[in-house]
A and B are shown apart, each in its own frame.
Chain A
Amino acid sequence: MTTERRIPFSTLLRVETRKLLDTRTSMIMTGILAAVALALVAGRGLFAGPADLNTLANTAGIAMGVLLPVLGILTVTGEWSHRTALTTFTLEPRRGRVLAAKCLPVLGAAVLACLAALLVAVPMTAVSAAVRGVEATWGLDPARLLGWTAVAVLSTAEGLAMGMLLLNAPAAIVIYLVRPMLWGFVTQLGPVGGTLAEWLDLNTASNALMDGNMGGGDAVRLAASVAVWVVIPMAVGVLRVLRRDVQ
């Protein structure tokens, strides 16, 4: 028969998106994500200032940048930790399609989260200006906005890649959260360490993108660290899922 009888990819997308929200754990996760972002923005707007839309939106983005990759890790490892891969892959044996349907909604959520951060930042900018008695700065730098949205998407992709590579949520989350500390240590090892971090630490390499002013050198360094932390682990991880015996 033809491919028409296959489960449409849009259906797989709907199913996998639904799985992001259909358990108590995932609802709590989403709730924490929203609450932390809100608290950070409110805290910074009320106590630290300035009443600047760009800065406040960016602050919300920091919370998302930490939590979205964790959501990514939980999404791609969930089928293995709960062994639901047994049912999912018997209904759709083409595992690559399932993986794609798992990754896209999480990456989409990263973009949405950035937009939501902006929406939260707007009233907070006004509140902050009123409370602190200063003039609000409403100017938005589109390059910066795009930049930090791209960084949020990249770090979410990194979480997905780590999750697929290790297929073990605790291990992937620990590596993801400990990594900045390790890079901090490497950077202190002198000029060699600093150069290593510039090229291979995704956080350091994406700073220019985050600020919205990327030069040619920045792009090359970013590409190198994306290859190391996103492309290669994801490729190996996908192969691993495709070939693995499901027990």
Chain B
Amino acid sequence: MIEFHRVTKTYNGAKALDEVSFAVPPGTVTGFLGPNGAGKSTAMRILAGLCRPTSGSATVLGRPYAELERPGYDVGTLLDAGAQHPGRSGREVLTLGAMMLGLPRSRVDEVLELVGLTGKEGRRAVGGYSLGMRQRLGIGHALLGQPRALVLDEPANGLDPQGIQWMRGLLRGLAGSGCAVLLSSHLLYEVEQVADRLVMIGGGRVLAQGTLAELGRGRSLEQTFLELTSHTDRSPA
């Protein structure tokens, strides 16, 4: 269970997040949808204890992130697939994570296989990875500790169609086993395919939330999304 309680974040007087509240129930995939710069990444970083909210709080399994003893067992995070040391091998990235969680090295091999990276690819430096491979590695890193919640920021970026399909299956499976999955994207059709619930955000505020059926009532989700986010539109009037 992931919860945001009236989270506000101000940067130099500008509100990046404004009283954001929503929850990700266990056993669901919740899509976190909004245009670029809407505040999705900021919200996820606050949840992971990397940024301080100006006010409000975010909790995982009922506790603020900073109070989790070994967060890697409670919540897996992929916040930026590009944020890797280019000289480190994929296997080494996972090994460091496994060491921190006190997991056996065999878990590294399991995870590599789970995310579809071959042994040879695992031994290569991450600097030579495509974005899609980095996403797979990042998802694998998030899954090391078999956490009960998962927070993924734009995980589908750079994945090829097979990769996107693979990820959908993986996330549905995890939700099916009770995991609470929060997945951000700026692409509606991507989220539509996998999510049970949607939280639409724009200009730092939650614009709408609910199940896909609730939000799409009577018209297409795309229309709803475009209407709701029209005030953050960058095109000339």
A residues near B45, Cβ cutoff 8 Å: 245-247
Stretch of B27-35, B91-99, B215-223, B228-236 on the interface side: B91-99
Please name the residue on chain B nearest to A2 by beta carbon.
B69
Quick check: is B37 within 8 A (CB to CB) of the other chain? no
Instruction: Mark contacts of B70-87 with chain A using CB atoms, 8 A cut-off: 1 yes-contact digit, 0 otherwise.
Output: 111000010110111111
Residues from chain A with a CB closer than 8 A to the CB of B77 are 87, 90
A83, A84, A91, A247: the one within 8 Å of B100 (CB): A91
Within 8 A of A (CB), among B50-70: 50-52, 65-66, 68-70
Q: 1/0 per position for B40-54, CB-CB distance to A under 8 A?
A: 000001001111100
Q: How far is the CB of A87 from the nearest CB of chain B, in Å? A: 7
In the bound complex, do residue A93 and residue B49 qualify as a contact, i.e. CB atoms below 8 Å apart? yes
A24 contact set on B, CB distance < 8 A: 87, 125
Quick one: which of B68, B71, B84 contacts A84, CB cutoff 8 A?
B84
A90 near B69 (CB under 8 angstroms)? Answer: no
Main secondary structure of the interface of B (DSSP, over half): loop
Interface 9-residue window, one of A7-15, A130-138, A211-219: A7-15
In angstroms, Cα B86 to Cα A84, docked, is 10
CB contacts (< 8 Å) of A7 on chain B: these are 70, 100-102
Q: Is the CB of A91 within 8 A of B97?
A: yes
Chain B residues with CB under 8 Å of A12's CB are 100
Q: Does B141 contact A (CB under 8 A)?
A: yes
- B105 close to A (CB within 8 Å): no
| A-B interface contact total, Cβ < 8 Å | 88
Rounded to whole angstroms, the CA-CA distance of A5 and B67 in the bound complex is: 12
Interface membership of B123, Cβ < 8 A = no
Q: Is A92 an interface residue (CB 8 A)?
A: yes
List, in ascending order, chain A residues with CB within 8 A of B66's CB: 93-94
Complex-state Cα separation, A6 to B51, whole angstroms: 21
In the bound complex, do residue A86 and residue B79 qualify as a contact, i.e. CB atoms below 8 Å apart? yes
Contact of B83 among A1, A87, A92, A245 (CB under 8 A): A87
- B-contact bits for A9-32, CB 8 A (1 contact / 0 none): 001101100110011111000000
Interface residues of A in 81-100 (CB under 8 A from B): 82-87, 89-94
Least CB distance from B15 to A in Å reads: 15
**B100 x A90 contact (CB < 8 A):** no
A206 vs chain B, min Cβ distance (A):
33
A19/B96 in contact, CB under 8 A: yes
Is A3 at the interface (CB under 8 A from chain B)? yes
Q: State how many residues of chain B have any CB contact under 8 Å with chain A.
A: 33
Interface residues of B in 4-46 (CB under 8 A from A): 45
Q: How far is the CA of A23 from the CA of B86 in the complex (A)?
A: 9
In the assembled complex, which residues on chain A have CB atoms less than 8 Å from the CB atom of B88? Answer: 22-23
Identify the interface centre among A3, A12, A23, A86: most chain B CB within 10 Å of its CB: A86
| Residue on A nearest B64 in the bound complex, by CB | A93
How far is A177 from B50 in the complex, measured between Cα atoms in Å? Answer: 32
B residues in contact with A86, CB < 8 Å: 50, 79-80, 83
Complex Cα distance, B67 from A93, in Å, reads: 8
CB-CB under 8 A from A78, the residues of chain B are 85
Contacts of A18 in B (CB 8 A): 96, 99
Asked, given contacts A11-B102, A91-B101, whether A23 binds B87 with beta carbons under 8 Å apart, the answer is yes
Interface string of B150-175 (1 = CB under 8 A from A): 00000000000000000000000000
- A99 smallest CB distance to B (angstroms): 15
Are B70 and A90 in touch, CB under 8 angstroms?
Answer: no
- Chain B residues with CB under 8 Å of A89's CB are 49-50
Least CB distance from B22 to A in Å reads 21
Indicate if the CB atoms of B68 and A15 lie closer than 8 Å: no
* Known contacts A3-B69, A7-B70: A84-B85 contact under CB 8 Å: yes
Query: In the assembly, what is the distance between CA of A199 and CA of B49, in Å?
Result: 42
The interface of chain A, by Cβ under 8 A from chain B, is 1, 3, 5-7, 11-12, 14-15, 18-19, 22-26, 78, 82-87, 89-94, 243, 245-247
Chain B contact residues, CB within 8 Å of chain A = 45, 48-52, 65-66, 68-72, 77, 79-80, 82-88, 92-93, 96-97, 99-102, 125, 141
**5 nearest interchain CB pairs?**
A23-B87, A83-B83, A5-B69, A246-B50, A245-B51
Please list 24 pairs of residues, one from A and one from B, whose beta carbons are closer than 8 Å in the complex, sorted by A's number.
A7-B100, A11-B99, A14-B99, A22-B88, A22-B96, A82-B83, A82-B84, A83-B82, A83-B84, A84-B85, A85-B50, A86-B79, A86-B83, A87-B79, A87-B97, A90-B49, A90-B50, A91-B71, A91-B72, A93-B66, A245-B45, A245-B51, A245-B52, A246-B51
